[in-house]
Amino acid sequence: MMIKNKKCLVVFSGGQDSTTCLGLSLKTFQETHAISFFYGQKHNIELERAKAITEKFNIPHTIIDISFFGDLVDSALTHGGNVNEKHPRLKDLPASFVPNRNMMFLTIAHAFAQKIGADYLMTGVCETDFSGYPDCRDEFIKLAEATLNSGSGIDIKILTPLMWLNKAQTWKLAD
């Protein structure tokens, strides 16, 4: 069902989960925009895919360079290493965990959503992700939404349509 006169900004990496969210947004909202981030990650292929997908579907797409962020964090995604090992400092998390990444993305996306007049932000985080990242939990997203809206005096809803889906369910939804 189309939500008339509503705009959604999708946090878009170009990977499976965010591409599924982009498709959902296109089917749900009158207008969809995408925002991606270069944060010094070693797997730039996703940003290349994000650009190709948004061009194919004629979706306004903004890529924000926050490469400095990679210098602030310790992660195999920004400094290399085996992503399947334990995080060097946070022993209960995998080496691929990027501390505060989703909060940084949401903060910047929330500001940009205000600029373009978006009513909704959508992100592909999910609690059922095998990695157990703490910034992919429903509780975190709800707190981030409340904090960002309180700090800006606005009410932008953060949508997480994949929150309770496993990868098989996400693939089915994408199909």
Q: Dump pLDDT digits (tens) for 130-169.
A: 567 899 999 999 999 999 999 999 999 999 999 999 888 9
Greater model confidence, 31 or 92: 31
CA 145 to chain centre: 13
Q: Where are the alpha helices (DSSP H) in 58-124?
A: 68-72, 76-79, 101-116
Distance CA 67, CA 10 (A): 20
Greater model confidence, 2 or 165: 165
pLDDT at 130: 59
Does position 28 have pLDDT exceeding 90, yes or no? yes
pLDDT at 55: 98
What domains are there in the chain, each with its CATH number? Answer: 3-69+102-174 (3.40.50.620)
pLDDT at 62: 98
Distance CA 94, CA 24 (A): 29
